[in-house]
Amino acid sequence: MSNGFILWRGASLLDGKPIMVVATGFDVASRNAKTGEMIQTWILREDIAPGDALRTGGDASICGDCRHRGRTCYVMVHWGVTQVWKAARRGKYPEIDRRQLGKVGRGQAVRLGTYGDPAAVPSWVWRRLIEHARHHTGYTHQWRTATHLGDICMASVDTPQEREEAKAQGWRTFRVRTSHELPLEREVVCPASAEAGRKTTCEECRACGGLSSKAKADIVIKVHGSPTRARAFENGDLFT
């Protein structure tokens, strides 16, 4: 089996620019210690290398108005993301049609949006992919407008106020907090996080599947990633 597939190509729902969705991890499993051996999905500008998209603001096509975009995102674009984009451009990954999406996801644990926001892509792509999946995780910063994803994605929020707003819209939330903040009522510290002692992996936890998950509490995690990202978040620079 190929290690990856191009699941979809088309116009971004965020700005109309050409994007593609690539799934990897079918032959060589992900080495991400937090997520475990999940199928990873990458939402990419088709026409611009990820580093160039980041530098020019072209990543708005896949990340929308996420405040971490180009500033404090924990994803290392110049490593794994770029390698996936290059492999797709070289024709390394077969392209599948919509009828095959369910077969590709069958029996798998799938991560929606390893890089990029699921809201950039028509929801039928994700729904077909996870139709027969073992389970999935998904997060969106576009929760104010992408309400149609509430059953399969968590609302990514960065403040207690955003959490309150998202909850009022009916979302389950995944909140990033500073080291000085405590979990709020009905929030549980991510059990796959370092702060929780990595009690499990996302592959086994299954809590972050939106309203379709059996879990009912919201999830919270301390800011993680690069020291620069953490400092910006802790100092409130992200919100200025």
> What pLDDT, on the 0 to 100 scale, is given for residue 37?
84
* CA–CA dist 208, 202 (Å, integer): 8
Element (H, E) at 19: strand 18-24
pLDDT digits (tens, 9 = 90+) for 183-205: 999 999 999 998 888 889 999 99
* CA–CA dist 136, 138 (Å, integer): 7
* CA–CA dist 21, 10 (Å, integer): 9
> What pLDDT, on the 0 to 100 scale, is given for residue 70?
72
Contacts of residue 226, Cβ cutoff 8 Å, sequence gap at least 6: 72, 74
pLDDT digits (tens, 9 = 90+) for 2-37: 889 999 999 999 999 999 999 999 986 676 778 888
pLDDT digits (tens, 9 = 90+) for 47-97: 999 999 999 999 999 999 998 887 678 788 888 999 999 999 999 999 999
